[in-house]
Structure 1
Amino acid sequence: MDSTPRLYVIDDDPFCFEMIALLLRGEGYELRYLDDSEKAFDQIREGRPHVVLSDLMMPKVSGIELCKQLKADPQTRDIPVILLTGIDDEAYLTRCVDAGADDFLDKGISAPVLRARIRSMLRIRAHYDLLREAMRLREDFANIVIHDIGNPLATIVIETDDLLACDPRADQVESLTTIKNSTRRLRDMAHDMLLLAKIDQGKLHLDLAEYDLAALIAEAAGHAAPLVRRRKLNLQVTRSGEDGDAHPPVCECDRNLVLRVIDNILSNAIKFSPPGGRVEIGLHCLGGSEGVPGGRFRIEIEDEGTGIPEALREKIFEKFEIGQVKREVPQIGLGLAFCRTAIEAHGGTISVCEGRSGRGTRMIIDL
């Protein structure tokens, strides 16, 4: 925390600010007066004060609405907010608390009480800062560990390839292939965790360029082909509005991220499909013209598995959320958390619903 605590006072009446400044004289605070509640959110977001004191009743944006804005934004939600009011109405005060206000005071408050409340809010802010720093250190340590895991995992894959090249028995080939695929999966999970951390911290740079989504889907289908054959599945790739290869579905995206998302969801669809079942990948143009960058596209991946209970359909996208979508296979939602974060970084959406046949799962990606 800075050595001099900064307090922003938002009120359309300058007399109220003068009274607060008088009551806090000698406390060593840096006070700033904001008389336009409509501009206050941006000014608070930019200035990052330690405490905000806001009038409740203002002509443009009320104190309650301003508080809601501040608490909804990751950049400002940890700033303590005190709402000032002359209204002694239980319903109104309840609305203040529901809006996320950390405290509320009567405008006729005495200097000792106001000073004590400000000190309390500053302690809360200090605890927020300490917690944020502890979380940052923990995440940095975890990211270092995850990054370093990649080297031994790569070694396992290389050594497994060498063993597979030594003409092993058929049963050994199956075991070695399982080891290799599982190691690659673990390596991909570690990579997803690093990407998630970068996206959350706003440090991920999207390598945007124009790509043919049909080609990306074909590549993902190629990655899945060995597992599809092993499980004797029928993998179908469809495309609506297709006009040969003259008008490819061009989308501006980060190729590697989108391909990882398709790989991840397709892998889940294959894993949860019964042997001999069908998995379908559909590509649809939602708007604009195919072959012209800037159009909107939908990718649907559908399987005939057991499906996902409606109560779990949002939870599976949360980090480390543990669900049980198949009785013998407990699931940790890291992969799907990565998928949602990666697609939302493109300005798109991802959702899940029941398959068209009334069974299975249909994942919907809009880009």
Structure 2
Amino acid sequence: MDKPISILVIDDEPDNFDVIEALLLHEQYHINYASSGIKALERMSVMQPDLILLDVMMPDMDGVEVCKKIKNHLQWQHIPIIMVTALNSKEDLGMCLAAGADDFISKPVNKTELQARIRSMLRLKRQYDNLQELIHLREDMVNMIVHDLRNPLTNIVLCAEILKFPKLSSESQLSKLDQIIIGSRQLQSMINDLLFMAKLEYGRMQLYQKEVDLYQMCTSVLTDFELLAAQNNIKLIGDLPAPGGSVSLDSALFRRVLDNLISNAIKFSPSNSQIILKANYPLPNEVKIQVIDTGTGVSEELRDMIFQKYEIGNVVQGINQTGLGLAFCKMVVEAHGGQITVENNYPTGAIFSVEISTNARVVTQSEIKI
């Protein structure tokens, strides 16, 4: 449930607060009251309202001074302030705006005007909050990406240094070269995810669809991940249609989807297990691909969340999780007019399914040119 909108009314006259409360009775705001600027500043340290209605004419500390103090405070300066004043000269209004006020309303307060100005200021506050949330999200993402890029890069550098050792056996050299290749592919995969997602989000990525043989694409994926799976004692199995099936896809982007799904399955599958890449044409204009593993699985409450950016679902110790791979898959699949889902693989594991309705067609043997 969303947090109720909080409004702080600062006015030395309780009757004025009662008027404001009555005018906003049906707006479902959470309204607080402070009888002076000093009391309001004391309460601001424990309560940050979404909006402040501030009376100008008050004893001890007038509204202009209170406004200056709030706007000079780093943690409070983003809160919109509407000055409530009986003053109406240009100089007085200019003084309020110069103090940092975002808007003003004249006494006696009109209900329609008050509600309209509050809604206007709350829209600005909402935009600010969304921007801050995005900034924090980007900061978290950058920290996460830097951390996850460091791990394969460290492995690459270490293996390259080991290759300098004299009298290193050919078998050890090949092993270290394999680790360098795997680490490089991991780096390339994460960087590609970031670039592709940025282009898709800003509408700069165009789909270059062409007829693709699903069998050949899936076979290529299994071949490329065979080494990584073997290092984890995992067997890759292909349950694929006969060669010659044709489906209209952006082969580069869709190949990245399959790479991400297989890579994730390897990450979360236990040693001495198997992963199945299953593909078929259930209908003439449809294609269905499944990646089936026996790993940790995905709980029901996380099944939608894991396809969102930077959401990583269950945190698993020792496994790089940026929260980008599945979000990228979802964006590409939906750009093709399809959907991606996940379900349990009883008794353990997960089944990721990609279904696309497109101009898929199965090419008959007579159509294949030799």
Contact between 1:164 and 1:173, CA under 8 Å: does it hold in 2? no
1:282 equivalent among 271, 278, 281:
278
State which of 264, 279, 292 in structure 1 corresponds to 2:260. 264
Q: Give the secondary structure class of the aligned counterpart of 2:207.
A: coil
Please name the residue that 1:352 is paired with. 342
Which residue is 1:252 aligned to? 248
Contact kept? 2:341, 2:353, Cα under 8 Å = yes
Q: Report percent identity of matched pairs.
A: 27
CA contact (8 A) 1:213 1:249 kept: yes
Name the Cα RMSD after superposition.
Answer: 4.0
- Is the 2:239–2:276 Cα contact (8 Å) retained in structure 1? yes
Matched, 1:322 2:312: yes
Assess, with a 3 A threshold, how the Cα gap between structure 1 residues 144 and 337 changes in structure 2: closer, same or farther.
closer
Measured at CA, do residues 346 and 126 of structure 1 come closer, stay the same or move farther in structure 2, by a change above 3 Å? same
Alignment of 1:1-367 (within 5 A): 112-130=110-128, 168-169=168-169, 170-171=171-172, 173-175=174-176, 177-239=178-240, 242=242, 245=243, 248-288=244-284, 295-324=285-314, 326=316, 329=319, 331-355=321-345, 358-367=347-356
Q: How has the CA–CA distance of structure 1 residues 331 and 163 changed in structure 2, closer, same or farther, with 3 Å as cutoff? A: closer
Q: Structure 1 222/161 Cα, relative in aligned 2: closer, same or farther at 3 Å? A: farther
Matched residue count: 243
* Partner Cα distance (2:128, 2:118) in 1: 16
Higher gyration radius (CA): 2
Conservation of the 8 A alpha-carbon contact between 1:298 and 1:364: yes
SS of 2:298's equivalent in the other structure is: coil
Judging changes above 3 Å, is the alpha-carbon distance between structure 1 residues 239 and 159 closer, same or farther for their aligned structure 2 residues?
Answer: same
Under a length normalisation based on structure 2, what TM-score does the superposition of the two structures give? 0.54
How many Å apart are 1:121 and its aligned residue?
2.1
Residue type of the alignment partner of 2:217:
L
Is residue 141–residue 310 contact of structure 2 (8 Å, CA) maintained in 1?
A: no
Query: Is contact 2:160–2:176 with CA below 8 Å preserved after alignment?
Result: no
Deviation of 1:138 (Å): 8.7
Q: Report the Cα offset of residue 171 of structure 1.
A: 4.2
Distance 2:249 2:299 in 1: 31
8 Å contact kept, 2:214–2:247: yes
In structure 2, do the counterparts of structure 1 residues 184 and 239 end up closer, same or farther at CA, with 3 Å as the change threshold? closer
List runs of 5+ in structure 2 lacking aligned partners. 1-107, 357-370
Which residue identity lines up with residue 364 of structure 1 in the other structure? S
In the TM superposition, residue 345 of structure 1 has moved relative to its aligned partner by 1.5
Render the CA deviation track for 1:258-283: whole Å, top value 9, x for unaligned.
Answer: 10110111112223333332211111
Question: Would the aligned equivalents of 1:209 and 1:252 in 2 still touch at CA under 8 Å?
Answer: yes
Change (3 A) 1:265 1:115: same
Q: Which amino acid aligns with 1:277?
A: S
TM-score by length of 1: 0.54
Unaligned runs of 5+ in 1: 1-109, 289-294
DSSP 3-state at the match of 2:313: strand
TM-superposed CA distance for 1:112, in Å, is 2.2
3-state DSSP class of the match of 1:324?
A: coil
